[in-house]
A = this chain, B = another copy of it.
Amino acid sequence: MYEVLRNFLTRQIDVSDADLDIFFSRLKLKKAKRNEILLEAGSVCRHMYFVNKGCLRVYLKDINGRESTRFLIPDGRFGTAFPSFILQEPSPASIQALESSEVFYLTYPDFRQLFDLLPQWEKIYLQSLERDYIMSIKRIESLITMDAKERYALLMKNEPGLIQRLPSKIIADYLGISQETLSRLKSKI
């Protein structure tokens, strides 16, 4: 049941099975249907998710109803509406399941408690954070230095699976371009 997660956790840090069990015992399981909302914009994000199957997205909706995708969280990764979760303040972003998904989640109190319960947790979290931060830096760089076509080519290189799996509308949101522009540049490659 925890295979994907176990792999994720032990890939970089040495954790005993006993410690893993402490961690697993704190997790709750949620099955989300396609398009189901896990976090409504405006409320405080109380969960950190690990996507076991499926895919989540963290997205923003502007006054005109236009959506943009802040992050995609495919299976095998942790994710949450990070600023809201860490600061425990209302989130401008929502979280939605893009596919029928199976996610484990940790409540905020459990997340904090794990630092005391599990000596390795700090390291696991730290490395995960470093990795996510590095990814966000690269995304910023792509946004300030590349045009739409280059950004799409980069995403195709880094996440070819996602592009196939997800509606291109979502991919466009993620790239920060319109659906029409994406459609056009796909036909030109």
Contact = CB atoms under 8 A, between A and B. Distances in A.
Q: What is the count of identical protomers in the complex?
A: 2
A116 interface: no
Contacts of A129: 126, 129-130, 133
A143 B140 contact: yes
A134 B70 contact: no
Given A129-B126, A141-B70, A144-B143, A83 B176 contact: no
Given A82-B133, A129-B130, A140 B141 contact: no
A136 interface: yes
A84 to B, nearest CB: 10
Interface in A95-137: 122, 125-126, 129-130, 132-134, 136-137
A140 B145 CA distance: 13
Interface in A164-189: 173-176
A137 B176 contact: no
25 contacts: A60-B141, A68-B144, A70-B137, A70-B144, A82-B133, A82-B134, A82-B137, A83-B134, A86-B130, A87-B134, A122-B122, A126-B126, A126-B129, A129-B129, A129-B130, A133-B133, A136-B136, A136-B140, A139-B140, A140-B140, A143-B143, A143-B176, A144-B173, A144-B175, A145-B176
